[in-house]
Amino acid sequence: DAKTTQPNSMESNEEEPVHLPCNHSTISGTDYIHWYRQLPSQGPEYVIHGLTSNVNNRMASLAIAEDRKSSTLILHRATLRDAAVYYCILRDWESSGDKLTFGTGTRLAVRP
């Protein structure tokens, strides 16, 4: 899987939007961009995924750069429950199927 680069940590205030960046300059045309998050002492949780177009769901929005070399996960109103490690993962369905390779992620702290 192509490599992703994320900041080690970020902080946000409660009820404010959060933009979590991810760089993936070596992304291939068949790589999907996936985001998962892991709350303390729990298994990861699926957040969102996309290929080329921006995506929205009840949890977050995913903004994908036009050249696909970067993406941003947007949490519209951070809550204390959003404090977690957020993982940006590229998945090439054709070569690796369902396999996910986790990087180090971004640890998000939310201030009350």
Partner 1 sequence: GAVVSQHPSWVICKSGTSVKIECRSLDFQATTMFWYRQFPKQSLMLMATSNEGSKATYEQGVEKDKFLINHASLTLSTLTVTSAHPEDSSFYICSASTPSGHEQYFGPGTRLTVT
Residues that bind partner 1 (CB under 8 A): 32, 34, 36, 38, 41-46, 49, 87, 93, 97-105
Q: CB 21 → partner 1: shortest distance, Å?
A: 18
Specify the residue, 29 or 43, whose C-beta has the smaller distance to partner 1.
43
| Nearest C-alpha neighbor of 102 from the set 46, 59, 18, 57 | 46
The nearer residue to partner 1, 14 or 102, going by C-beta atoms, is: 102
Q: Are 48 and 55 in contact (CB under 8 A)?
A: yes
Q: How many CA atoms lie within 13 A of 39 on its CB side?
A: 10
